[in-house]
Amino acid sequence: MFDKSTWIQLPRNVLVGHGVLDELADAVDELYLTGRPFLVTSPTPNDIAGDAVRAQFDDPASVTIETASFESVERVVAAAEAADAGYLVALGGGKVIDTAKMASDSLDCGFVSVPTAASHDGIVSGRSSIPEGDTRHSVAADPPLAVVADTAILAEAPWELTTAGCADIISNYTAVKDWQLAHRLKNVEYSEYGGALSQMTAEMLVDSAESIKPGLEESAWVVVKALVSSGVAMSIAGTSRPASGAEHLFSHQLDRLVPGRALHGHQVGVGAIVTEYLHSGEKGEWRDIRDALGEVGAPTTAGELGIDDETIIEALTTAHTIRDRYTILGDGLREDAAREAAGFTGVI
């Protein structure tokens, strides 16, 4: 008997382009959301666009957070309840969006995603990535009801945020390989559509790499469209697997070892060089990943991340412990193998 079923949740309105922030209130109106809008943001995004958002609504309330954590989620939930919020508007980078996404799930209300940086593919996804102690949770949460990505704002953001977004997409190559491996070895459920969309998104971004240049709003457009597409792949799959494999485990471990040292996207990009080497060997496609990262101006070495070689080795050898997700790291990379892989690829 056929007994499969799936529930794919996607945003209803996705607005991408120059000046679309001014259409935020219209996009919200279209969703029939009611009650008081509650803005979740962090200091810099609030300075950049907080007033422009508040000006579009009657009687908005807001809270400012600094980190993505369960404490931040609780703070947002408490502040939103106290303000009698009807729905949330997340304005900022990945940490703000992840926090608001989880808080809206907890509050059982809708939320709208307003990214101020094209730095990560959680803009649209139905997951929140939240660290806790020695582990990292990929928490299922409803995706945003609408996304309003203003390329004028994204293009003004520091360039490294955009190169981080590119690297988060380029890492889809290795994430999909890890997912397929886990499917073959551990019978982990694999979505052909989710995998193909994630891979195609990375291919399209790499094909456009030479047009991704600082100071061009067109670049923000190309990158944010890829980030949306990658988030949709996660929603189709119902897991972050299409966009998060061993290179993400490595990055999450770096976040524990040297918090705040480098951007998420930059860390996963460097991780992908090493994990691609582990997948396909000396003559494999790790050079393609390294060259694609280099072409968009993302880091390709530990030095460019500002992280010392020994920390890279520690992250590589312990990354498998961070979460129960089978990848090319298996039950752990031996230290000599980690040195060989990171050394051969020029990461250290």
Ligand X SMILES: O=C(CO)COP(=O)(O)O
Ligand Y SMILES: NC(=O)C1=CN([C@@H]2O[C@H](COP(=O)(O)OP(=O)(O)OC[C@H]3O[C@@H](n4cnc5c(N)ncnc54)[C@H](O)[C@@H]3O)[C@@H](O)[C@H]2O)C=CC1
Binding residues: 94-98, 116-119, 121, 125, 168, 248, 252, 264
Give the nearest distance from C-beta 93 to ligand X in angstroms: 12
Count of C-beta atoms within a 10 Å radius of residue 50? 21
Give the nearest distance from C-beta 94 to ligand Y in angstroms: 2
Binding partner at 92 among ligand Y, ligand X, Zn ion, none, C-beta below 5 to 8 Å by kind: ligand Y
**Of the candidates 235, 211, 240, the residue with the CA atom closest to the CA atom of residue 223:** 211
- Quote the tokens at residue 228: 């949306």
Annotated binding site for glycerol: 121, 168, 248, 264
Question: Length of the chain, please?
Answer: 348
Binding partner at 117 among ligand X, ligand Y, Zn ion, none, C-beta below 5 to 8 Å by kind: ligand Y
Q: Does 44 bind ligand Y (CB under 6 A)?
A: yes
Give the nearest distance from C-beta 249 to ligand X in angstroms: 7
Burial environment of residue 82 by CB neighbours within 10 A (0 to 12, 13 to 18, 19 or more):
exposed
Q: Which of residues 185-244 bind ligand Y (CB under 6 A)?
A: 234, 240
Decide the pairing of beta strands 135-140 and 13-17. Answer: unpaired
Among 168, 178, 255, 276, binds Zn ion (CB under 5 A): 168
- Quote the tokens at residue 214: 């600082």
Give the nearest distance from C-beta 180 to ligand X in angstroms: 17
Give the x/- contact pattern for ligand X in 211-240, rule: CB under 6 A.
Answer: -----------------------------x
Cα separation of the two ends of the chain: 53
Among 254, 263, 341, 342, binds ligand Y (CB under 6 A): 263
- CA atoms in the 13 A half-sphere facing the CB of 21: 22
Q: Which is nearer to ligand X, 87 or 279 (CB)?
A: 279
Among 75, 127, 320, 325, binds ligand Y (CB under 6 A): 127
d(CA 111, CA 108): 10
Decide the pairing of beta strands 135-140 and 127-132. Answer: antiparallel
Q: Residues 224, 149: contact at Cβ < 8 Å?
A: yes
Q: Residues 144, 112: contact at Cβ < 8 Å?
A: yes
Which amino acid is located at 126 in the chain?
Answer: G
Q: Does 325 bind ligand Y (CB under 6 A)?
A: no
Contact footprint for ligand Y (CB under 6 A): 42, 44-45, 48, 68, 92-96, 98, 116-117, 119-122, 125, 127-129, 153, 157-158, 161, 164, 168, 234, 240, 263-265
Contact footprint for ligand X (CB under 6 A): 121, 127, 129, 138, 168, 240, 243-244, 248
